[in-house]
A and B are shown apart, each in its own frame.
Chain A
Amino acid sequence: MSNRKTRYFVAVMGAILAVGLGTGLVASYMGLPVSVFSSAAGPEELQYVPADAAVVAYANVREVMSSQFRQRFKDIEPSQDEKNEFEEKTGLNLEQDVDSIVAAVMPKDGMAQNPAGSFLILARARYQASRLEALAIEHGGQVSEYNGKRLIAVHDDDANDPTPDEMAFGFLEADLVGFGSIETVKAAIDARASNRNIVSNNDMMKLVNEIDNANAWAVGKFDAIASKVGLPTEIASAMPAISWFSAAGHVNGGISGSFKAEAKDEATAKNLRDIMGGFLAMAKMQAANKPGMQQLAESLVISGEGNTVALAFSIPSEVLDVLESLAKGRQPQLQQ
């Protein structure tokens, strides 16, 4: 090439291509954690979720509790007396003190018979630690320490359970309690300390990263759960071959949300889209001339490409008004 300027230009552009291709190849074959060059998505509590969790769910309890949607359903909640009794014992006002909850499922063999041993619940709230600890000891709880965190274990004396798990809760932070079997709570403490947690699981974090503007969501590896739950062969064979799923919702005046699944192959995904499309068409036909239901059916949108299937919906508060008035209109008839 005759010109120095041209040579520089070719070198710079070639370098951009080479760096891009190199980074892509390294990322594809060796993997890069999400935390590289970017902050992790999702709530901080995810750092306590073990890396082998197959399902992770999150709810912003504070937002949901203060939403207009929830105000509509206050009538069907437990009576004020029951709430007061709980608050008196634990010092925890569910409506005002709880900020968020993260739940995770770590699949293990025999999960169907003993589900408690596979769950971990992380609740962020304003606790009165001494009061909770005293209450647990009063009910036979035993206090111990694990990696500098206080654990309170309660032995499950269920005679029907042949392999009872010792349930426990531990104060992971001043305002964060982990609850589950003693193994899962210990695993949560280890996950945070060793930095080997769900945040380093790229597949899972990819799904978490895609969730936006949701105050409740769940993501998970469907086949990992299905294989451990021990479903009967007839049911297992009839289930669609889904590998990943994510569900997200936003609750405020109304509710909006989406469900997304990743099938094993494009043919399965297409079949699922077709089946859902059929159900949707049927729902729209049934909902015709029913004001609230029609709007609800219209809000359902099926989408997806390649291996993915997605269903989105949005129920505005106006539709809830109509449904509420329809329900109220029917109530007297039902009582008669």
Chain B
Amino acid sequence: MTGDATPLPAFRRMSYFDAARRVFDLSLGEMLWSRRTIFMGLIVGGPVLLALIVKVIESFGMSALRVNGQRMAGFSIFGVIIWALFLRFIVPVLGVFYGTALMADEVEDKTITYLFTRPVPRGAVLVGKYLAYLACTFLVVLPSVMIVYFLLVPLSQVPATFGKLLIDLGLLALGLAVYGGVFSFVGSFFKRPLVIGLIFAFGWEQVVLLIPGSLKQFTIAFYMQGLVPHAMPSEGVTSILQGLFQQNPPAWVCLAWLFAFLGGFLYLATRVVEKKEYILEQ
């Protein structure tokens, strides 16, 4: 029997953009409803709870916070929360936990093979997951900052302080993007990315900021601090030392370095994912 052999339909390779969008769609739901998001909800809920307590105390005519015997205004308390909780803790911690997990989770769960056998560019997998991370963290962190702001700052002070809130929101978004980019590289390159990420964010960055000299230029926190529109809180030895050795580079330098970190590490991460041969442990 002779017949024409019908050729099997060839798999159409998706464009980089389409592939990233598909991975984004898939990953966003997974990320939002994972146990990690419960953890994120808890740490982002902390400042909201704190702001609520301050609001309740102030509604009874008492002042929640005093410095040198003087009542601390709502926007000053908001500034302290942005510095001490969001910039120094929440943003790096979310960057570490989510960024390092983008590829590492797939390796650990041994599901990376399924992703890489699809007709999608490998780099697009990481980009799609990174965009899902951004959407997920922006959607949780930025509304919580907004709630904290409106709980703490009286409406009469909104016109004078709203510009600074917009800077804060932009800065937090940039911070999440940069930390996410750096740790997505760490997650795709190193074997124990979480430990390395934690050491970088809460070891290296914190220690180097206390040391005089130019080492601090190799941290993200240094450039983030240069853009914060609030005064650095001066409670605690660490804060006092950091304030002492604080040098604020111009805003354009900070922005240039932060975007360079973001672009550079994201590019490196996609290159690693494209080139690296992931060996799954049996």
Contact = CB atoms under 8 A, between A and B. Distances in A.
B77 interface: no
Contacts of A31: 159
Interface string A196-209: 00000010011001
Interface in A199-238: 202, 205-206, 209-213
Contact of A206 (B71, B142, B157, B166): B157
A13 B146 CA distance: 11
Interface stretch (A18-26, A145-153, A167-175, A177-185): A18-26
A36 B159 CA distance: 14
B156 interface: yes
Interface string B66-99: 0111110100000000000000000000000000
A16 B63 contact: no
B212 interface: no
A16 B68 contact: no
A305 B164 CA distance: 14
Nearest to B156: A34
B35 to A, nearest CB: 16
A13 B140 contact: yes
Interface residues of A, number: 42
A60 interface: no
A153 to B, nearest CB: 37
Interface in B256-273: none
Nearest to A312: B68
Interface residues of B, number: 34
A28 B159 contact: yes
A3 B70 CA distance: 51
A5 B149 contact: no
A10 B139 contact: yes
Contact of A27 (B32, B159, B166): B159
Contact of B139 (A9, A303, A306): A9
Interface in A131-163: none
B156 A6 contact: no
Contacts of A1: 25, 28-29
Contacts of A24: 158, 162, 165-166
B69 to A, nearest CB: 6
B156 A301 contact: no
Interface in A1-55: 1-3, 5-6, 9-10, 13-14, 16-17, 20-21, 23-25, 27-28, 31-34, 36-38
Contacts of B135: 10
Contact of A5 (B33, B139, B160): B33
Contacts of B28: 1, 6
A121 interface: no
Interface string B221-249: 00000000001000000000000000000
Contacts of A295: none
A100 interface: no
B63 A213 contact: yes
A32 B69 contact: no
A6 B154 contact: no
B149 A20 contact: yes
Contacts of B156: 32-34, 38, 202, 205-206, 209
Contacts of B69: 256, 258, 312, 314
Given A23-B158, A38-B154, A3 B29 contact: yes
B231 A36 contact: no
B160 A206 contact: yes
A51 to B, nearest CB: 14
Contacts of A23: 150, 158
A9 B34 CA distance: 14
A32 B155 contact: yes
A310 B69 CA distance: 12
Given A9-B139, A24-B165, A312-B70, A32 B147 contact: no
B105 to A, nearest CB: 18
Given A6-B28, A16-B143, A24-B162, A34 B154 contact: yes
A72 B32 CA distance: 67
A6 B29 contact: yes
* Most chain A beta-carbon contacts within 10 A, residue among B67, B155, B156: B156
B115 interface: no
A281 to B, nearest CB: 18
A93 to B, nearest CB: 30
B68 A17 contact: no
A210 to B, nearest CB: 5
A258 B67 CA distance: 12
A310 B25 contact: no
Nearest to A40: B156
B26 interface: yes
B139 A14 contact: yes
* Most chain A beta-carbon contacts within 10 A, residue among B70, B149, B158, B162: B70
Given A6-B32, A258-B70, A310-B70, A20 B146 contact: yes
Nearest to A301: B68
Contacts of B159: 27-28, 31-32, 202
A213 B163 CA distance: 30
Contacts of B139: 9-10, 13-14
Given A34-B154, A213-B71, A303-B68, 4 more contacts: A2-B25, A24-B158, A310-B70, A312-B68
Nearest 10 pairs between A and B by C-beta? A212-B71, A20-B146, A16-B143, A27-B158, A305-B231, A24-B162, A13-B139, A34-B156, A3-B29, A6-B29
8 contacts: A1-B25, A20-B149, A24-B158, A24-B166, A28-B159, A32-B156, A209-B154, A212-B70
